[in-house]
A and B are shown apart, each in its own frame.
Chain A
Amino acid sequence: MSQTTNDPRLLRAPPKRPIRLSWSDERVRGIVWQLLVVGIVGGIVWWLWSNTVHNLEVRRIATGFGFLGREAGLPIAEHLIDYNPTDTYFRALLVGLLNTLKVAVVGIVLATVLGTAIGIARLSRNWLLSKIAGVYVEVIRDLPLLLQLLFWYAVLQGLPGPRQALNPVDGVFLSNRGLKLPWIVWESAHSWALLAFVAGAAATWLYRRTARAKQMQDGQPRRVWPVALGLLLVLPVAVWWVLGAPWTPDMPALRGFNFQGGLNISPEYFALLLGLVLYTAGFIAEIVRAGILAVPHGQWEAAQALGLKPTQVLNQIVLPQALRVIVPPMTSQFLNLTKNSSLAVAIGYQDIVSIANTTLNQTGQAIEGIAIIMLVYLTISLSISLFMNWYNARIALVER
């Protein structure tokens, strides 16, 4: 941009002609076209709006978000925060939003890991491995996601009941009531240890930055891993130890007709997560593969010729270049996964769409209900794309 404005030829302002009121003047035509299009679009919007207002009056539907404060009376099976049916609609929707985030965040992490693994497997020199990865990608991308979700849900529903649950490893049970995993009794010491881990991660990141900056000045590489080990592992363990080292395993066990204790993953959540991760991983695999292939072979060879170690070649030479190709399409896959999590409504996982849909059926507030859904997704989409744009700008090629 700066180059074009500095161009001396463009600094001379074009001669200004007075606007003639004639069809042959480009500016007049532009204004007429814009007025026409804005007029048509505005007219349609106004027509729809006036119809809506009239219809709402006729049907005696009160508009506004007053219903959010009323008692919801709808049961929600899975909730991250305390909830019971006597709570308000607002809290019900909040629970739904958290459920959406729960599946989206976990899904994004797992799909990235699996997708990257499959993308690399497709480039493997092992013929069998690359063929299997190729078939996986082709098949998974050619089947509708909704069909896959219904399929996995049907598979989970077809599993034996809790009494005949599949028990592949001690403490892990898979039945038509979902997946049961061993867990620990969560105490405040664990929360503090988790907090210490997060603080340690932030400190490691800061240390790595300063180490890099110093290396840029004096050319001496500094080791990051001893500090990282201390901050990420020793510090949380020490915190946990100081607070009494509580450790009570919570194993799931069959009591009566169902399991008690342990970590419960409901069949709905499990099917949704499985479907979303397997589906999105197919797309991410292709993006990763394309990104790695986009790095010219000469870059590998040049790095090896300089005597860099294989990990250095990957970390310092290949990945920074591949990431530039990978990040923008990856962003849209993350957005897609989040938006696709709305298909939860088809298999009965209570995400924001499902709860907003129930709300609008119970209260008749169709416009508000759909506005809430759209607002939530627009906010999530915008946040993810802002973050990924920031990250993309950070790793983008710095040109002179």
Chain B
Amino acid sequence: MSDITLNTAAAGVPEAAPRSAPLTQIGLVGWLRANLFSSWLSSAVSLLLLYLIIRWAAGFIEWGIVNAIWSVPNNQTQACRDLKGTGACWAVITEKHRFMLFGTYPYEEHWRPFLVCLLFIGLYVVSAMRRFWRWELALIWVAVLTLIGVLMWGGILGLSYVPQERWGGLPITLILATFGLAFAFPLAILVALGRRSSLPAIKVLCIMYVELIRGVPLISLLFMASVMFPLFLPEGMNIDKLLRAQIAIILFAAAYLAEVVRGGLQALPKGQYEAADALGLSYWQKTGFIILPQALRLVIPPLVNTFIGFFKDTSLVLIIGIFDLLTAGKTAIIEPAWQGFGVEVYITIGAIYFVFCFAMSKYSQGLEAELNRHRRR
């Protein structure tokens, strides 16, 4: 390049002023040409998609906002029914949102489940921050979960007692997911270690447990918890339905988490195990100080993905009649006046689930990028 410019200068040819790139290659036009209209096929696809998006968005805005009804006086849903198919009836949300969020919890005590939800969210945020990743975090968990129990049950500190049968809605979803996770995770680590153990009996037991649980749908475990569990216990001893479902969810989640943890154990170079042995560490010292800290770090992103799946799966308790967020939504439209407004209710509940799962998913992506920073070139 430099040779050429040198030659032109030497030949006395006046140097041309640097020209900017053609307008069609830069800026908005250039971007559009490169990304939307690079070929006739691409242009056709873009135009078709644009048409569909505009049509769909216009239809949705018309249905969801322009023609929608936001509230109706005392359950007079005839106005909503007349609009069926052309406008949304958000009045069902206005009327029933307290029921959808908190179920049959006593109305004047709703601040307690509300506070519980905030506590849960706070707990998740704190657990997500890397600077809190120390053993003290376990203490925070115990403290917050105890506080949540006190708030939900009441009966002390001047709070009125609320039996567990009256709990419902979002707190139940968060309880099932959080307690399930808190108990399933340690169990999963033990099972994953057992599956890699050199002791044949323990290995076979762990393989059987993981493969059996992973081979059947969660529903069959929940059915088992609701129908068969009472048969398993001695006469007179009974565990309430929520706890039985919780146990089923813990056993289910532990099998899946164990496989994720096992992936981390397998990915760890063999030299780490051998070095720990060479130092004369005992099995538990080796596992606790050398293996697990590295193996768990490797599998944090897939772990978070499993958590997301598992948070969504708590909604399956609907089938055995436990009052979680989805069940509360489904129950809210059983009343004859509000029958047939399922679409509006499910969109609202979907938005709540989406907020939680999307936050976790974005967090997992961010974490993955951060943890892999040393590998990036």
Contact = CB atoms under 8 A, between A and B. Distances in A.
Given A33-B202, A143-B312, A154-B343, A382 B233 contact: no
B326 A142 contact: no
B220 interface: yes
A378 B215 CA distance: 5
Given A38-B205, A147-B353, A343 B219 contact: yes
B227 interface: yes
| Residue from A34, A54, A128, A144 with most neighbouring chain B CB atoms (10 Å) | A144
A377 B214 CA distance: 10
A392 interface: no
Interface in B318-376: 318-319, 326, 330, 340, 342-343, 346-347, 349-350, 353-354, 357-358, 361
Given A55-B231, A129-B49, A143-B353, A374 B199 contact: no
Interface string B206-226: 000000101111111001100
B215 A381 contact: yes
Interface stretch (A203-211, A309-317, A365-373): A365-373
B228 interface: yes
A293 to B, nearest CB: 15
Contacts of B38: 125-126
B342 A157 contact: yes
B228 A366 contact: yes
A347 to B, nearest CB: 11
Contact of B316 (A51, A146, A373): A146
Given A138-B361, A143-B353, A377-B220, A56 B231 contact: yes
Given A125-B42, A147-B315, A158-B84, A340 B231 contact: no
Contacts of B228: 366-367, 370
Contact of B217 (A52, A138, A342): A342
Contacts of B78: none
Contacts of B220: 342, 353, 370, 373-374, 377
B6 interface: no
A158 B340 contact: yes
A58 interface: yes
Contacts of A366: 227-228, 231
> Taking chain A's interface residues, is the majority helix, strand, or loop, or is none over half, making it mixed?
helix
A58 B235 contact: yes
B326 A146 contact: yes
Contacts of B316: 146, 343
A377 B215 contact: yes
B219 A34 contact: no
A378 B231 contact: no
A138 B227 contact: no
A127 B46 CA distance: 9
**Would you call the interface of chain B mostly helix, strand, loop, or mixed?**
helix
A357 interface: yes
A145 interface: yes
B313 interface: yes
Given A33-B202, A34-B201, A150 B346 contact: yes
Interface in A127-181: 127-129, 132, 138-139, 141-148, 150-151, 153-155, 157-158, 160
B45 A151 contact: no
Contacts of B340: 157-158
Interface string A245-272: 0000000000000000000000000000
Contact of B198 (A30, A147, A155): A30
A144 B217 contact: no
B216 A155 contact: no
Nearest to B354: A142
Contacts of B205: 37-38, 41
A171 B199 CA distance: 65
A147 B235 contact: no
A353 B230 CA distance: 20
A260 B112 CA distance: 56
B326 A33 contact: no
Contacts of B216: 339, 373-374, 377-378, 381
A175 B217 CA distance: 32
A123 to B, nearest CB: 14
A346 interface: yes
B326 A360 contact: no
A146 B205 CA distance: 32
Contacts of A129: 45-46, 49
A37 B235 contact: no
Contacts of B75: none
Contacts of A30: 198-199
Interface in A372-393: 373-374, 377-378, 381-382
Contacts of B224: 370
Contacts of A38: 201, 205
B169 to A, nearest CB: 14
Contact of B313 (A58, A142, A144, A377): A144
B219 A345 contact: yes
Nearest to A283: B309
Contacts of A370: 220, 223-224, 227-228
A376 to B, nearest CB: 9
Given A138-B358, A158-B84, A378-B212, A52 B231 contact: yes
B335 to A, nearest CB: 15
B46 A151 contact: no
Given A51-B234, A143-B312, A146-B315, A360 B227 contact: yes
B217 A377 contact: yes
B232 A151 contact: no
A80 to B, nearest CB: 21
Contacts of B232: 48, 51-52
A144 B202 CA distance: 35
Given A34-B201, A141-B361, A342-B217, 6 more contacts: A34-B199, A51-B231, A51-B234, A132-B53, A146-B326, A353-B220
7 contacts: A38-B201, A51-B232, A125-B42, A147-B315, A147-B326, A154-B346, A374-B216
Interface of A: 30, 33-34, 37-38, 41, 48, 51-52, 54-56, 58, 125-129, 132, 138-139, 141-148, 150-151, 153-155, 157-158, 160, 339-340, 342-343, 345-346, 353, 357, 360, 366-367, 369-370, 373-374, 377-378, 381-382
